[in-house]
Structure 1
Amino acid sequence: MILVNLDVMMAKRKMGLTELAEQVDITMANLSILKNNKAKAVRFSTLEAICKALKCQPGDILEYVEDEEIIEGG
């Protein structure tokens, strides 16, 4: 499973949802879906815009974890 750690990077950069949504040119609703790990996919252009706005790498936002890890940890 791929986890989206967008909230962690936003906190590190002290950037709110509204500001990031404006910079990335994405709706607050879609950004919220991504931030809350509800997205089924993300376009590379969106990922690139998020990385540019947050000055980070895709690996700072996306994390692969085995399904068992989520069950054990949660």
Structure 2
Amino acid sequence: MLKYKIDVLEELKGKGYTSYKLRKDKIMGEAQIQKIRQGEIASKETLNTICKLLQIQPGDLLEYIDD
């Protein structure tokens, strides 16, 4: 199972991207923000956006944990 290694929304907030700003500036939709809040893996496009905004690689964001 894939899981986030970091608290994505907290990291984005630290870079100045609150959930309000993400929605207002149409960087990320509410459905994707809710998925992240619930620990679900977001869409590939959203993961690309997160990596770009945080300047990280996907391996810094996600990890695989064997069920």
Q: Same fold (TM over 0.5)?
A: yes
Q: Which band: TM-score by shorter chain?
A: 0.5 to 0.7
| Counterpart residue number, 1:34 | 36
Q: 4+ residue stretches of structure 1 with deviation over 6 A?
A: none
CA distance in 1, matches of 2:54, 2:60: 10
Report the Cα offset of residue 47 of structure 1.
Answer: 1.4
Give the match's secondary structure for 2:7. helix
Aligned residues with identical type, % of pairs: 31
- Gap runs ≥5 in structure 1: 68-74
Normalising by structure 2, we get a TM-score of 0.62
Q: Is the 8 A contact 1:5 1:35 kept in 2?
A: no
Structure ID, larger Rg = 1
Aligned-residue CA RMSD (Å): 2.9
Q: Which has the higher helix share?
A: 1
